[in-house]
Chains A and B, each alone.
Chain A
Amino acid sequence: MTPLVFGPSSRRLFGLFHPAEGRVQRDVAVLLCAPMGHEAIRSHRFFRLLAQRLSRRGMSVLRFDGHGTGDSPGNDEDGELSGWCADVAVAHAELVARSGASRIIWFGARVGATLALQAASTATPPPSKIVAWEPILHGAEYLQYLREKHVQELEHGHTIPDAGWRRQLEQDPQAFTTEAFGFAITPLLRRQLLALEPDTLVAPQNAELVTIAKPDDEQTAGWVERQGRAGASARWLPLTHSMIWSSNPFPNNEMVPAEALQRIITEISE
């Protein structure tokens, strides 16, 4: 594993490159796109293990932090979807150059999956396959989810929580909209997320798409079906797993659910 700083001088990115290992090295490399905010912290170990397992299967892997996230330069307040989308394409170019692989697969989770879908048309050469785990298709619902989890986190964090937080959450739609779980949600990022709807997100036509979501996630299942009808090579994969994106590590809350890791490795390796 090699730590890297790459990308244009005006917008450097931190990444970790896992060169292909093992006796059989494949002409395949994998780009991993992490979620945003707390979910990125929560899933870091999942991404690390995924990268290690894939590299042992003979694939080079690059994981990276978008601008203003993780170890990359920039502040929370600098983070926004179009910039992160461009970062995916920059990381893709870095992976192509480093790995020399002719087939590039993208894996993304949550907002990382959404970014992968949005960035696919800008990458050269385009990714041949995208594995999207629970992509955020409906930004307004996601923002509402973040608001609720943010307040829950505050309540858990105080011996005697402020009863007004919950009332504010229920009564004032503008309350708790500028940050979530300690990460800034700037007006720009909020606008971009609000503009995100299932109908505005289009699966790339030149890449195979596997979308993984919970079996009861009808919204995502419906979206995949519509993409297929529109001509995309889109497949729906229901997966039950125990990953709680909004949790902190605590007992009885798996850091890396084995069933999800195994399934995703299989989907990428096939």
Chain B
Amino acid sequence: MTDFTETPVQFGAEGALLGILTLPLVQQSEELGCIVLNTGVNHRVGPHRINVKASRALAGIGIPTLRFDLSGIGDSASSQSALDFRAQAIDDMKSALDHLEKSHGLKRFLVFGICSGAENSIALALNDPRVVGLLAFDGPTYMTPGVRLERKLRRWMAFPFNTPLRHSYKIWADLSQWAADARSQGAKNSVAALKSILFPKKAEPVADIFADGAPEVTAQDFERKLLSLVDRGVSISLMYSATQNSHDRDYGMLRQLRGSRLFERAQYRFWPDIDHTATTLEMQARLLAALQNWARGLAFERPATRAGNAGGGTSQPMVLARRRATRATVSG
């Protein structure tokens, strides 16, 4: 016996977007719902089926949750519009909120996303006032050169004693192959790598978002945008995995924002033992428990107090947000 029901839904222009709506048997708040976003090009089920588990975990605490595919991903049709990918994603996510509002009367929304889903969760919150909370796992990072150097030094220090780490460097793997067999592919790769170091070629031009000159979100832009969200009363939880770094202290993933008041008002959490897609069942369980705890806190907040906080400042919800931030901040 489960405490939720699941139904496939099609919505958006001509029903082009496909998702699964997980409805709790007992709803926590009449107005609060959640959407769970694609990670990269993985379909709505998510890596390791984590979006399914997240949807059921949220429904388990009384929050209706929709996991769905953005245009062109999974089972949603490609869009016929001329929007760029981010604008299209925002359009799709707003369609998801519209669908939940029209069909189930939901008015306030949480958003959960991993990697590209984390970036999309922030983009949606900036573009839709119905979003009252976002949990972004492995979203944008703004490390300083010092943090990057420390990460590199830690890897180098581990290098002599750590076989898998050594083999994560392609050049090492190729050289090892070369040492074992002078005619191996590794030998050829090593020679090619050596040539590219001695005679570097001009880099091939790259397209679209990876191109030089693509719009860059600076740390200051990022801070300004997130502060605008917390000022609006949006609960922000930024989580980072062990894929980003092995250690963390003093908000290392966002060190360029050092001293920002954002850290007083948003959750920041580094997971030294959970990787980018929560590969093991144990990692998944802990990440989902954190998601549930975060969402449960918001589900119990009354909409009236949140609305009263629209102008920011030091009203009660902010105090709550600050307390949550203090509790949840884990460094190192």
Residues of A within 8 A of B (CB): 1, 3-5, 14, 16, 38, 41, 44-45, 48, 69-71, 73, 76, 150, 153-161, 163, 165-166, 179, 181-184, 248-249, 255
Contact = CB atoms under 8 A, between A and B. Distances in A.
Contact of B75 (A1, A69, A184): A1
Contacts of A38: 48
Contact of A44 (B6, B74, B155, B164): B74
B42 interface: yes
B48 A182 contact: yes
A161 B162 contact: yes
B326 to A, nearest CB: 27
A248 B41 CA distance: 10
Interface in B45-60: 45, 47-50, 52
Given A157-B275, A158-B246, A159-B155, A165 B45 contact: no
A159 B161 contact: no
Given A41-B43, A71-B45, A163-B164, A158 B280 contact: no
B204 to A, nearest CB: 13
A46 to B, nearest CB: 12
Contact of B165 (A153, A154, A163, A249): A163
Given A71-B45, A249-B41, 15 more contacts: A1-B75, A3-B8, A44-B45, A44-B74, A70-B49, A158-B246, A159-B154, A159-B242, A159-B246, A160-B155, A161-B168, A163-B164, A163-B165, A166-B163, A182-B48
A158 B271 CA distance: 11
Closest 10 CB pairs of A and B: A182-B48, A157-B275, A3-B8, A155-B164, A160-B246, A159-B246, A161-B164, A163-B162, A44-B43, A249-B41
B277 A182 contact: yes
22 contacts: A3-B10, A16-B75, A41-B43, A41-B47, A48-B74, A70-B49, A70-B52, A71-B6, A71-B45, A71-B52, A76-B281, A156-B168, A157-B243, A157-B277, A158-B243, A159-B154, A159-B242, A161-B162, A182-B277, A182-B281, A184-B281, A249-B40
A64 to B, nearest CB: 12
B167 to A, nearest CB: 8
Nearest to A74: B2
Contacts of B42: 41, 44, 249
B38 to A, nearest CB: 11
From DSSP, what is the main secondary structure of chain A's interface residues? Answer: mixed
A166 B245 contact: no
Contacts of B281: 76, 179, 182, 184
Nearest to A38: B48
B8 A5 contact: yes
Contacts of A150: 279
A45 B44 CA distance: 12
Residue in B2, B151, B162, B241 with the greatest tally of chain A CB atoms within 10 Å: B162
A41 B6 contact: no
Residue in A153, A155, A157, A183 with the greatest tally of chain B CB atoms within 10 Å: A157
A3 B18 CA distance: 8
B284 A182 contact: yes
B162 A160 contact: yes
Contacts of A73: 2, 6
Contacts of A163: 161-165
A76 B49 contact: yes
Given A155-B164, A159-B155, A159-B242, A248 B44 contact: no
A41 B44 CA distance: 10
Interface in B68-88: 74-75
Interface string B30-45: 0000000000111111
A14 B20 CA distance: 10
B245 A179 contact: no
B180 to A, nearest CB: 18
B164 A166 contact: yes
A208 B52 CA distance: 37
Given A159-B151, A159-B245, A166-B163, A45 B41 contact: yes
B165 A161 contact: yes
B182 interface: no
A19 B50 CA distance: 30
Contact of B279 (A3, A16, A153): A153
A157 B242 contact: yes
A155 B279 contact: no
Residue in A48, A71, A184, A249 with the greatest tally of chain B CB atoms within 10 Å: A71
A194 B281 CA distance: 22
Contacts of B47: 41, 182, 248
A161 B169 CA distance: 13
B152 to A, nearest CB: 10
Nearest to A12: B6
Nearest to A44: B43
A45 B40 CA distance: 13
A48 B60 CA distance: 30
B276 interface: yes
A69 to B, nearest CB: 8
A184 B164 CA distance: 24
